Structure formats: C-alpha cells, structure tokens
C-alpha cells in the first residue's frame, strides 16, 4: 500500500500544474531569500549588529552566540541550504536546518510582530516544505530518490 504525504494530498486536491508552479516558485523564492541573507552577512558581520534590545534572550545571544563558531557558520549555512532549496536538493534536511536558523534569527531580531512578520512567513513556508515531495517537482530530489539503491526511511527522509 502506497503511503500518501501531505504534499500529495494538497496536490491532488488542486489543479496540479498551477499548484506545482506555485510551489516551485515558493521554494525558489525562499531559497533565494536564505541565500541573500547569508551573502549579506558574510563580510564583517556580528550578531551584535542585529541584536535587538527587545530580543527574547538578548543577554544569552550576546554572551554565548556572539563571536563564536556559530556566528561564523550561520551565513555559510544560510548560503548552502538556500542553494539546496533553489535546486530542490535535500529539501527536508535543508528546511530543518533553515528552520533552526530562522528561529534563532527571529529570536534575536524581534522588535515587534509587524516588523518580524517576514521571518514568520518564511518559517511557515519551511514547515510546509517538511511535508515532503517539494523537491520532486523540478528539483534534484526526484533524481536522487529514483537512483537510490534502497528506498528505506533514510532515503525517504533525505530526498522523499
């Protein structure tokens, strides 16, 4: 018996062509958003530059996160996993890591709900990509999954 994913239920309930075009456009847009966010922060950037006084854990971010390896890795993770979303490759793992990154970014840049609405919108889109199958439409996940030797839970998690 074939198991259906949430993405499969959504795509069969709507016009598949338009839904697929919209979904690929959304995936590429979120990928470019993460990519350019990382590129902007590659040169001479610190969490202290973006840290808000109203942030949820401002003292923690200032003491632990600032000037650490995580601060150096964050722009590179945003660039690499943004490219993964653009190409439709390893969409689920990329979405999980980008969710963690965006939750951290949302926590340290929080000023008000209206000003941080774009972060919340990206977080919701990344949660939608976790449903599975979004990399199979005009993406490399389809090829990675079809050429996998075994279709076990690891391959389904990575490229399913």
Number of domains the chain is built from? 1
Range of the domain at 57: 16-159
Least confident of 36-45, 77-86, 113-122: 113-122
**Considering the chain, what is the average pLDDT of its residues?**
76
Write the CA distances from 16 to 20, 22, 23, 60, integer angstroms: 6, 10, 10, 46
Q: pTM of this prediction?
A: 0.75
User: Is residue 3 in a domain?
Assistant: no
Tell whether 2 is covered by a domain. no
How far is 100 from 104, CA to CA, in rounded Å? 6
Answer whether residue 9 is part of any domain. Answer: no
- The token pair at 42 is 């590659």
Query: Which residue has 């000003």 as its token pair?
Result: 115
pLDDT digits (tens, 9 = 90+) for 19-60: 777 888 888 999 999 899 889 888 877 776 666 666 666 677
Closest Cα to residue 29, out of 136, 116, 134?
Answer: 134
Give the best-scoring range by mean pLDDT among 6-20, 23-37, 108-122.
Answer: 23-37
Q: Given a cut of 90, is residue 64 above it in pLDDT?
A: no
CA dihedral 116, 114, 125, 37 (to 10 degrees): -30
On whether residue 1 sits in a domain, the answer given is: no
pLDDT band at 75 (very low <50, low <70, confident <90, very high): confident
Tell me whether residue 11 is in a domain: no
């Amino acid at each position: 018996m074939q198991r259906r994913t949430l993405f499969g239920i959504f795509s069969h309930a709507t016009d598949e062509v338009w839904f697929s075009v919209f979904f690929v456009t959304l995936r590429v847009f979120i990928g470019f958003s993460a990519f350019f966010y990382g590129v902007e922060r590659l040169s001479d950037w610190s969490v202290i530059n973006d840290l808000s006084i109203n942030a949820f854990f401002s003292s923690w971010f200032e003491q632990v996160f600032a000037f650490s390896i995580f601060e150096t890795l964050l722009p590179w993770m945003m660039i690499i996993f943004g490219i993964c979303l653009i190409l439709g490759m390893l969409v689920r793992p990329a979405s999980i890591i980008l969710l963690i990154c965006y939750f951290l970014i949302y926590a340290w840049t929080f000023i008000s709900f209206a000003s941080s609405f774009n972060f919340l919108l990206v977080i919701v889109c990344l949660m939608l990509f976790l449903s599975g199958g979004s990399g199979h439409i005009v993406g490399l996940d389809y090829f990675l999954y079809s050429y996998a030797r075994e279709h076990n839970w690891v391959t389904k998690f990575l490229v399913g």
